[in-house]
């Protein structure tokens, strides 16, 4: 319990997420296109809370797999379409745009969420047609190293570089992207103040900064012991980044996403996660952050799934009792007691193999 009497209401949160799994309130109607992402928040949230036994894993696996886009033949892999996962049932409908019909709206973010969910419920990812995902994903990478999330054109920014890196990491296969080009793009997104913007030249932002640092970590460009390394050996300006990140903690203990903005629970994970990856988490005021997060627990109103999830993730970083530890750069927890770290990738057993062996 917090000195001010605030207590983490684990059981209430579990019930809330179970309810969200059962049926989403009508407020989420406009979010139908992101159904898989909303499911990721609920399932991963239950996982962090140590309550994944409340879900039917086989049912979830077949539901998630039903969103995968499959090439009809191997030659389809050259047609420029992305064969990942759709975000929802409606995105599997055919779209007719300028008289060209598109049957495939699979998206990098939905694919990240699909693989993350499949991982946390112990599904063996080697059963997937990962070649189709990875070969078609190469075509989403732009000449500047960034990624489009979908094959028929959309914004390109750091969010999708992160998704691509996490997908390659989870599939344990980096043929889906040109890592060097992606790294160059990420480096160009670091702003004069040390944070990262979503694209080169844009204002530093907590979410973008997480995407940059977590992607570099997954790609193996940041070592776990970065805090003890000389600054010059790093691909990005770490001291400036750490300073920018620490300055995001506001007087109320919470983190803001940008300078002069109110603090908000989700940045306790986005910015806190950056500090954790870089090994500077002990510099933030943990007690004040803990109090801020607990003061955001909602008693009467239904909180939104996104902020609820990232509050649990942030509390897991703070080692709240009863919460499972996170693999920060991947955004999911330990699997069957195995904590994913990028260190493991270069060790004798690769993390995904370890997961596959146990599943």
Nearer to Zn ion, 157 or 264 (CB): 264
Which residues sit at the interface with Zn ion, rule CB under 5 A? 264, 266
- In the complex, the smallest distance separating the C-beta of residue 307 from Zn ion, rounded to whole angstroms, is 6
- In the complex, the smallest distance separating the C-beta of residue 184 from Zn ion, rounded to whole angstroms, is 29
- In the complex, the smallest distance separating the C-beta of residue 264 from Zn ion, rounded to whole angstroms, is 4
- DSSP state, 323? P
Nearer to Zn ion, 283 or 306 (CB): 306
- In the complex, the smallest distance separating the C-beta of residue 206 from Zn ion, rounded to whole angstroms, is 9
Rounded to 10°, the helix 206-218/238-246 angle is 140
- In the complex, the smallest distance separating the C-beta of residue 66 from Zn ion, rounded to whole angstroms, is 30
Nearer to Zn ion, 264 or 329 (CB): 264
- DSSP state, 49? T
List beta partners, residue 335.
338
Nearer to Zn ion, 55 or 289 (CB): 289
- In the complex, the smallest distance separating the C-beta of residue 266 from Zn ion, rounded to whole angstroms, is 3
Nearer to Zn ion, 169 or 267 (CB): 267
Question: In which residue are the tokens 């997104």 written?
Answer: 189
Count helices and strands (H / E) in the chain. Answer: 14, 4
Nearer to Zn ion, 84 or 257 (CB): 257
In the complex, residue closest to Zn ion by CB: 266
């Amino acid at each position: 319990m917090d000195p001010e009497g605030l207590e983490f209401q684990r059981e209430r949160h579990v019930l809330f997420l179970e309810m969200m799994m059962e049926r989403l309130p009508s407020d989420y109607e406009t979010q139908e296109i992101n159904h898989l992402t909303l499911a990721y928040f609920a399932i991963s949230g239950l996982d962090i809370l140590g309550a994944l036994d409340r879900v039917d894993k086989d049912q979830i696996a077949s539901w998630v797999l039903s969103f995968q886009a499959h090439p009809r033949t191997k030659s389809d892999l050259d047609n420029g379409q992305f064969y990942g996962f759709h975000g929802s049932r409606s995105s599997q409908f055919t779209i007719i745009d300028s008289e060209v019909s598109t049957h495939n709206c699979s998206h990098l973010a939905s694919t990240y969420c699909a693989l993350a969910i499949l991982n946390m419920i112990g599904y063996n990812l080697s059963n997937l047609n990962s070649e189709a995902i990875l070969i078609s994903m190469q075509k989403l990478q732009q000449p500047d190293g960034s990624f489009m999330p979908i094959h028929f054109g959309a914004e390109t920014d750091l969010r999708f570089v992160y998704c691509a890196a996490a997908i390659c990491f989870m599939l344990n296969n980096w043929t889906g992207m040109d890592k060097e080009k992606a790294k160059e793009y990420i480096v160009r997104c670091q702003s004069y103040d040390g944070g990262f913007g979503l694209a080169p030249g844009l204002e530093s932002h907590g979410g973008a900064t997480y995407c940059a640092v977590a992607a570099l970590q997954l790609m193996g460009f940041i070592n776990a012991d970065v805090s003890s390394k000389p600054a010059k050996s790093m691909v990005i300006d770490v001291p400036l980044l750490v300073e920018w990140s620490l300055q995001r903690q506001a007087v109320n203990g919470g983190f803001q996403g940008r300078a002069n903005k109110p603090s908000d629970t989700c940045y306790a994970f986005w910015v806190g996660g950056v500090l954790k990856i870089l090994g500077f988490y002990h510099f933030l005021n943990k007690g004040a952050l803990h109090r801020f997060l607990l003061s955001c627990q909602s008693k009467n109103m239904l909180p939104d799934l996104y902020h609820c999830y990232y509050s649990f993730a942030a509390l897991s970083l703070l080692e709240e009792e009863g919460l499972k530890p996170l693999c920060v750069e991947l955004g999911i927890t330990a699997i069957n007691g195995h904590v994913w770290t990028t260190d493991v990738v270069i060790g004798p057993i690769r993390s995904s193999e370890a997961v596959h062996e146990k599943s």
